[in-house]
């Protein structure tokens, strides 16, 4: 084993240990996020752990990844295929919330900010998979945060796919009355954008 492999193994074990010790305290989550930024090659390992729904790492890993990408969204780009292909396998609600938020950030970067790096890497297949995941999070039995991120993501995706906005509007109007205050608040904003986009 080369020195480089040994170093990676130690780094991966440090990541596992950090996640195992991580609790809901923001300080601990920031430590894990800092480790991911220092060792971005560990992100594929982290994604494997999250998608395997390992009880110890699933939701903690989602938190850490979300915080790391808030500082540097580009960290996810080298493993974008792995990230997107695993969206449908997520089961942990905390992980779904984190991944829905990351999807929202990627889609805002592509469609609203026209970020050249994100635009260059997100393919039509990626967008199709993200669309399916976001509709599932929006209409499925998921917590309001994931639904809210999915609404915004689908609004952005609708800038590239004409059929999405009409479908999104129907779903939001149907769920509005029975939705929570948080659901209604985000739905109002998205519905307002949809109505203004038509004029």
User: DSSP states of 31-66 as a string?
Assistant: HHHHHHHH-GGGHHHHHHHHHTT-TTTHHHHHHHHH
Residue 85: band (very low, low, confident or very high) from pLDDT cuts 50, 70, 90: very high
Residue 185 has pLDDT above 90, yes or no: yes
Query: Please, how many CA atoms are within 13 Å of residue 123, restricted to the half-sphere of its CB?
Result: 7
Average the pLDDT over 78-86 and give the result: 97
The predicted structure's pLDDT at residue 32: 80
With a pLDDT cut of 70, the percent of the chain lying above it is: 86
pLDDT digits (tens, 9 = 90+) for 91-118: 888 899 999 999 999 999 999 999 999 9
Q: Which residue has the tokens 């889609």?
A: 107
Give the length of the chain.
Answer: 199
Q: Indicate the pTM of the whole model.
A: 0.89
């Amino acid at each position: 084993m080369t020195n480089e492999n040994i170093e990676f193994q130690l780094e991966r074990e440090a990541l596992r240990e950090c996640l195992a010790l991580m609790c809901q305290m923001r300080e601990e989550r920031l430590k894990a996020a800092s480790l991911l930024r220092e060792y971005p090659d560990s992100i594929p390992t982290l994604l494997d752990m999250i998608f395997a729904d390992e009880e110890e790492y699933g939701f903690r890993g989602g938190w850490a990844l979300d915080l790391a990408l808030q500082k540097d969204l580009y960290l996810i780009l080298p493993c974008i295929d792995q990230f997107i292909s695993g969206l449908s396998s997520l089961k942990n609600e905390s992980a779904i919330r984190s991944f829905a938020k990351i999807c929202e950030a990627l889609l805002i970067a592509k469609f609203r900010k026209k970020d050249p790096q994100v635009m260059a890497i997100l393919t039509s297949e990626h967008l199709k998979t993200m669309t399916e995941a976001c509709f599932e999070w929006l209409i499925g039995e998921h917590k309001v945060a994931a639904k809210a991120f999915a609404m915004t993501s689908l609004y952005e995706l609708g800038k590239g796919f004409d059929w999405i906005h009409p479908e999104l509007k129907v779903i939001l109007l149907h769920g509005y009355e029975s939705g929570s205050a948080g659901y209604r608040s985000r739905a109002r904003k998205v519905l307002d954008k949809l109505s203004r986009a038509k004029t």
